[in-house]
C-alpha cells in the first residue's frame, strides 16, 4: 500500500520532472561536455578538439572582455538592488495602506514587467536618443532650464551603462513591488495596532515590525533581482544595439557574441558554465542569508496573535 502510494506521488511529479530534465538537466550536461571542446558548432561533434580545462583557463586568465561584461552586469545589478528595489519597496508600502485608487496603482506598476524587453528597449531608445529618436529627455531638460545636463545618454560610454541600468530598473521594479506587497499583506495587523497602543511612531513601527518581518521577502527579491539582472541582455540589444566597445557588454551578450561572431561554441559553453557557477555561489550565499533572516524573525513568529 505504501509503495503504491509512493508510486502515485511520483506519478504526479513525473511530468514536471520530465520537462525539467529534458529542457534543463540534459542540456546542462551537454553544455558542460561541450565546454571541454574546441568546436565551431557546425562540424560533427566527433571532429571537435578536446581541450580539457583550456577554455576555463582562458576565461580566468586571458579574457578581459568577459570580466568587463561581469563588472558591467554587476553595476546594473547594484542599481537594480538599490534604486529598483527601494522604489519597489516604497511603492509597496504606500499601496499596502488605505490610499485612494490603490488597485489602479497596483495595475499600473505591474505593466512594465509584462512588456517585452525588446519593446521596452526600443521605446526607451526612441525616448532617449536624439539622432534617431524623439530626444524627449533632453528636450525636457532644456525646457526645465537644465540645458547643461543635455547629453547623448546612450552613446557616451560614461552614461550608457547607467542609462541601461535605470531603464532595466524601470522595467523590473514591478516584480519587486508585487512580491513586497504580498509580503506586507502577510504581516498581522495586530502587530501594528499593538505598537500604536504602545506609542510607537511610524518610523519605529516600520523599523521594528515591517522590516524584520519582511526580511525573508527582501532577501528573496534581492536574489531574484541578482539572478534576473545578471542574465539580462535583450534590453541592451534594444536600447544600445550591442556592446558599445565593451561598455554595455553583459555576460549573456558576450556568450552570444562569442558563439555568433567567433563561432567558438565550446568556449561560449564554458562561459555559460562560468556564469552558472557564479550564480550558484550567489544562490548559496542567499540560502545562508535566508536562514539567518528566518532566525531573526523567529521571535515574532512565537508571539501569539490572540
Partner 1 sequence: MTDREPAFRELARRYEAKTGIKVNFELYAPSDAYSQKVRAAAQGANLPDIFGILVKKRDFASFIKAGYVLDLTPYMDENGSLWRNKFFAKALAVDEFGEGNSYGVKTGIYGVPIDIVTIQMLYNKDLLKQLGYQRPPQTFAEFLDMGKKIKVAKLQGLVSGWVENWLIDCFANNFAFNIMGKDKVLATIRGEVPYTDPDWVKVLTLFKEMRDSGILAEAVVTMINKTAEQLFANEKAVFAFNGSWCVNVYKSMNPGLDYAAMLPPKASDKFPMTVWGGAGSSFMVNATSKNKDTAIRFLQWLTDTEQQAYLAEATNNLPANKESLPKIPEVLAGFSKAIDSSTHPNIWDVSEFPVVIESLDRGIQAIILGEKTPVEVAAEVQKIKERELARKDNRPR
Locate the DSSP E strands across the chain.
Answer: 37-38, 49-50
Binding mask 118-147 for partner 1 (x = CB under 8 A): -----------xxxx---------------
Count CB-CB contacts under 10 A for residue 31: 17
H or E segment and range at residue 68: helix 64-79
Please write down the HEC assignment for all residues of 170-209. Answer: HHHHHHHHHHHHHHHHCCCHHHHHHHHHCCCCHHHHHHHH
Q: Using the rule CB under 8 A, which residue among 31, 136, 150, 155 binds partner 1?
A: 155
CA dist 140 and 38 (Å) reads 52
CA dist 278 and 79 (Å) reads 19
**If binding is defined by CB under 8 A, does position 62 make contact with partner 1?**
yes
Q: Using the rule CB under 8 A, which residue among 76, 243, 250, 252 binds partner 1?
A: 243
Using CB under 8 A, which residues numbered 177 to 196 contact partner 1? none
Return the number of the residue (30 or 104) whose C-beta is nearest partner 1. 30
Return the number of the residue (178 or 258) whose C-beta is nearest partner 1. 258
Return the number of the residue (156 or 190) whose C-beta is nearest partner 1. 156
Closest by CA position to 164, among listed 241, 85, 88, 95 = 241
**If binding is defined by CB under 8 A, does position 168 make contact with partner 1?**
no
48 contact partners, CB below 8 Å, separation of at least 6: 34, 37, 38, 39, 266
Using CB under 8 A, which residues numbered 262 to 281 contact partner 1? 262-264
Count CB-CB contacts under 10 A for residue 213: 19
Q: Using the rule CB under 8 A, which residue among 102, 246, 289, 297 binds partner 1?
A: 246
Q: How near is the Cβ of 106 to partner 1 at its closest, in Å? A: 35
For residue 217, with 0-12 CB atoms within 10 Å meaning exposed, 13-18 middle and 19 or more buried, which class applies?
buried
Q: Using the rule CB under 8 A, which residue among 15, 43, 52, 304 binds partner 1?
A: 43
Cell of 282: 550567489
Q: Candidates 12-20, 95-103, 152-160, 227-235 — which segment interacts with partner 1 by CB under 8 A?
A: 152-160
**If binding is defined by CB under 8 A, does position 159 make contact with partner 1?**
no
Determine the length of the chain.
Answer: 306
**If binding is defined by CB under 8 A, does position 254 make contact with partner 1?**
no
**If binding is defined by CB under 8 A, does position 27 make contact with partner 1?**
no
Q: Give me the residues that bind partner 1 (CB under 8 A), please.
A: 38, 40-44, 47, 49, 62, 129-132, 152, 154-157, 160, 240-247, 257, 260-264
Amino acid at each position: 500500500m505504501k509503495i503504491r502510494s509512493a508510486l502515485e506521488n511520483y506519478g504526479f511529479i513525473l511530468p514536471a520532472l520530465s520537462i525539467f530534465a529534458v529542457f534543463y538537466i540534459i542540456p546542462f550536461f551537454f553544455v558542460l561536455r561541450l565546454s571541454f571542446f574546441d568546436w565551431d558548432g557546425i562540424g560533427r561533434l566527433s571532429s571537435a578538439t578536446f581541450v580539457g580545462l583550456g577554455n576555463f583557463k582562458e576565461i580566468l586568465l586571458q579574457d578581459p572582455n568577459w570580466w568587463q561584461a561581469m563588472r558591467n552586469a554587476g553595476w546594473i545589478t547594484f542599481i537594480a538592488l538599490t534604486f529598483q528595489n527601494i522604489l519597489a519597496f516604497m511603492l509597496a508600502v504606500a499601496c499596502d495602506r488605505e490610499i485612494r485608487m490603490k488597485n489602479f496603482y497596483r495595475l499600473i506598476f505591474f505593466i512594465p514587467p509584462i512588456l517585452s524587453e525588446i519593446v521596452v528597449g526600443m521605446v526607451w531608445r526612441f525616448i532617449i536618443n536624439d539622432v534617431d529618436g524623439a530626444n524627449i529627455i533632453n528636450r525636457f531638460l532644456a525646457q526645465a532650464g537644465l540645458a547643461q545636463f543635455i547629453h547623448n545618454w546612450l552613446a557616451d560610454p560614461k552614461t550608457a551603462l547607467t542609462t541601461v541600468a535605470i531603464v532595466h530598473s524601470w522595467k523590473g521594479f514591478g516584480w519587486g513591488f508585487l512580491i513586497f506587497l504580498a509580503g506586507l499583506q502577510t504581516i498581522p495587523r495586530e502587530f501594528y495596532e499593538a505598537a500604536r497602543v504602545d506609542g510607537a511612531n511610524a518610523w519605529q513601527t516600520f523599523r521594528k515590525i515591517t522590516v524584520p518581518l519582511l526580511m525573508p521577502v527582501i532577501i528573496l527579491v534581492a536574489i531574484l533581482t541578482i539572478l534576473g539582472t545578471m542574465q539580462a541582455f535583450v534590453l541592451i540589444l534594444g536600447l544600445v544595439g550591442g556592446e558599445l566597445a565593451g561598455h554595455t557588454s553583459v555576460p549573456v551578450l558576450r556568450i552570444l557574441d562569442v558563439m555568433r561572431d567567433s563561432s567558438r561554441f565550446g568556449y561560449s559553453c564554458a562561459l555559460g558554465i562560468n556564469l552558472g557557477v557564479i550564480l550558484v555561489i550567489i544562490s548559496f550565499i542567499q540560502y545562508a542569508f535566508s536562514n539567518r533572516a528566518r532566525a531573526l524573525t523567529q521571535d515574532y513568529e512565537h508571539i501569539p496573535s490572540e
